[in-house]
Every structure is written in structure tokens, then in C-alpha cells.
Chains A and B, each alone.
Chain A
Amino acid sequence: METRRDVFQAIADPTRRAILLLLASQAMTPNALAEEFNSSRQAVSKHIQILTECELVKQEHKGREIYYHINTTQMKEIDKWLEQFRKIWETRFNQLDKVLLTLKQKKK
């Protein structure tokens, strides 16, 4: 449960969401990533570290360079949570359907 919570805190930050968006289209080196943002290299590196810690981003060594990839498995985890929320609404609405049916029968 704890890791999943961290995942949501990780994507709550707009810079980290932007990093994920960039990595979704291609793997990137920390330098290339840092160039995309106005914030300092250290700040960007800190964001990448958080994303790596909660496994939203994976790193791969290619020669001397490190490349960051998006971890699609973990991204799907977020969608599962939202799916649960969707289910609450589905149940709620099915209950309302029943209530409406009763109300309409009373009217007749």
C-alpha cells in the first residue's frame, strides 16, 4: 500500500508529470532531460530520483550514458486505482436505477 501512495505523490508534481510525458515518447539521458526545463540540473535530477524510487522510471546503462525509460507496468497501477473509483460510481448509479424504478412504479 505504501509504495502505491508514493506513486501518486510522485505524479502530483507538474514537473515530474512533464518528465513522464517526455519519457513516454522516448528514452532520455539526464542531461537531455535537464535541457527541457528551466529549473536547475540538480532540481531535475531530484525529480528523476523520486520517479525512479517509486519505479515510475527505469534506468538503463548504455556505454557511459544512463538512459531513463518510462515503466509502463507502474503507470498501469495508477489506472487500476482510478478504475476502482469508477466502480464506486457504477455501483452508485446502479442503485439509483433501482430507486428510479421504484419511484416510477409508485407514480403509476
Chain B
Amino acid sequence: MSMSLFFDFTVDKQNNTIHIKREFAADRSIVWDCYTKSEILDQWWMPEPFKSKTKSMDFREGGKWHYAAVGPNGEEHWAITTYVKIEAQKMFLADDAFGDAHGNINPQLPQSKWTMNFSDMKKNTLVHGIMQFADFAQLEQTIAMGFKEGLTMAMENLDAILVAR
């Protein structure tokens, strides 16, 4: 089923931006809930074997989503998403950052601005996410952290890929 759903991932190195477009086989109202209600976000936001665990969610302009990516050994990596602008079922703008269990943002770690646009695609819904980094180093650091946390390693063994290519 997922085979036929539109997916586009474009990295704009000049503008330190990543565009991620994905079609979902559901109404816009349902998809919107999946992106904005923490009890649903916790079911899919972190790729296996990681799990997303919400500490608090306040989905309104100025509000925050405070959650952890919990690894297979129970290790926690905390993140804080601050909602800047919300237009119900159309778009939201958020600042994404890493932090600690108390909700403090760690300015040493990379931050990015997210824009999520929701639109109809016939009977389905298209979500166009834009991640904007201050510079390419921040984008690089985000990916590097994924490696450190085993986020990407867990899905595929990097060494095997590097050898195979």
C-alpha cells in the first residue's frame, strides 16, 4: 500500500533546507491529529526500535511538546518542540531543539525551524515538511547525532552499506 504513496525527500545544500513531502491515505483532519496529538505522535514519531515518550504537550502558539526518544536499552534523548504559528488543519511552524528531562533547551546542540503544510491530494492528504537549519554544520550535526544515538544504525548497518557501495 505504502508503495503507491508519493514520497519526496530533497536536500537543498545551498539553503540548508530539507524538503520532505509525503502522501497519506487518510483525510486531512485525521493526518492533522497524527501530527499534533501527542498520544498519536508517540505511536509513530520515532523510528523502530526507538519509541517516543511524551512528558508534556501544549499544542498552541507559544506552547511546547516535550518528549524523549527512548532507545532499546531505555536511554532517553530529550527534545523540545515550540509551536510558533498554528493554522488548524493547514499548517504549523515550530522550533525544534534538543534538551533535558526538565525541558531546558541545550543551545550547544543543533536547532531547526520546521514548517508543516497540510493539503488535500484527491482523497488523500499531502504533508510538506520543511526543515530549515541555520547553517550546513547544524544539519550535519543533526544527522551525526542520529548516528550516535543508534537511530540510523538500528535500521541498517552503516558499515555494511559502505562496503557494499
Contact = CB atoms under 8 A, between A and B. Distances in A.
A84 B146 contact: yes
A100 B136 contact: no
A45 interface: no
Taking residues whose C-beta sits less than 8 angstroms from the other chain, chain A's interface range is 20 to 34
15 contacts: A5-B140, A8-B137, A17-B14, A85-B146, A87-B155, A88-B151, A89-B20, A91-B155, A92-B44, A92-B47, A93-B22, A95-B44, A97-B2, A98-B44, A100-B34
Contacts of B152: 84-85, 87-88
A41 interface: no
A89 B137 contact: no
Contacts of B43: 95, 99
Interface of A: 1, 5, 8-9, 11-12, 17, 76, 80-82, 84-100, 103-104
A106 to B, nearest CB: 11
Give the interface size class of chain B: 35 or more
Interface string B22-38: 10111000110110000
Interface in B129-165: 135-137, 140, 142-144, 146-147, 151-152, 155-156, 158, 161-162, 165
Nearest to B42: A99
Contacts of A91: 47-48, 155
Interface in B1-27: 1-2, 5, 7, 9, 11, 13-14, 18, 20, 22, 24-26
Contacts of B11: 82
Given A97-B1, A97-B2, A12 B147 contact: no
A5 B40 CA distance: 35
Nearest to B45: A92
B143 A5 contact: no
Contacts of A98: 44
A80 B162 contact: yes
B158 to A, nearest CB: 7
Q: Pick the most buried of A5, A8, A93: most chain B CB atoms within 10 A of its CB.
A: A93
